[in-house]
Amino acid sequence: HVDRSIDGPRNFLHSNTVGVFELLECARTYHQKLPGDLLTTFRFLQVSTDEVFGSLGADGAFVEDTPYSPRSPYSATKASADHLVRAYHETYGLPTLITNCSNNYGPFQYPEKLVPLVTLNALSGQALPVYGQGQNVRDWLHVEDHCEAISAVLERGEVGSTYNIGARTERTNLEIVYAICDALEEILPAERDSELSEPGAGGYRDLVTFVKDRPGHDHRYAIDPSRIERQIGWRAKKSFDAGLKETVRWYIENREWCVEVKAGSYDGGRLGLAATPNHRGER
């Protein structure tokens, strides 16, 4: 989670970079000892992110050859891990693959992420925080489509290659929040939500609250998945509208899971409020 990397970058360095190094070393040792038949089928797959490419303008999309330009501790540590994976392929012959995916959504996502956070906050009548003016754009991919893409890359991907995974579903953050509110109104209308009546809001959209933007917030991400579609034959199946509505319904029906998974570790508050220096370098 990008906001967590702003609050505690060291943990991300240890996990995303040093952790991948340790996995590569373990895989290299294991791979060297494999018999011939298993040697040819072994793969090391690095699941990366579109955030390593940085921020796009109003046009264009990330392709596999887009230069890396990470702008947060999270994306920088993921980018460094990707470079290590490529180096182990070139230096040691480790049969590696890299996938760079867009924003995931779906069931069982940790509640600090945008879709579950907005859904659960709305259900309990809490504010729905939107960074800045909500105009940052993300490309959205259902988790089941992502898992199928990973499986396809492992089975049919060219060793040493990178594949971008996306569903060509760009939305502003504000559009996502409004879409969640509309899905909630359809599944559990605000007038029937006893918790929502407490703050006196007329509907879920009335809970939208604009907050100070995230430090270094990239403006737009967009994935061009042409290579994986052309070379491997994978294509996203889940429409965003249907997938989002299914996801919202899942969180409504599984609120106990959300309570349990958050217990003692996350209270729903905002993360990533890093202190920033003023023009004199003071804090």
Task: Quick: pLDDT tens for 186-221.
Answer: 999 888 877 776 555 579 999 999 998 888 788 999
Looking at per-residue confidence, does 89 or 202 come out higher?
Answer: 89
pLDDT for 37: 87
Residue 51, C-beta contacts closer than 8 angstroms, at least 6 positions apart: 2, 70, 72, 74, 75, 78, 218, 221
The tokens for 108 are 């069982």
**Considering only 30-44, 78-92, 103-117, 201-215, which range has the smallest mean pLDDT?**
201-215
pLDDT for 216: 77
pLDDT for 158: 98
pLDDT above 70 for 62: yes
Which residue type is seen at 125? G
Q: Of the ranges 149-153, 200-204, 270-274, which is most confident?
A: 149-153
Residue 49, C-beta contacts closer than 8 angstroms, at least 6 positions apart: 75, 78, 100, 101
φ and ψ of 114, to 5 deg: -55, -55
Diameter over CA atoms, the chain = 68
Looking at per-residue confidence, does 218 or 140 come out higher?
Answer: 140
pLDDT above 80 for 277: no
Residues with a catalytic annotation lie at: 50-51, 74
pLDDT above 60 for 119: yes
pLDDT above 60 for 266: no
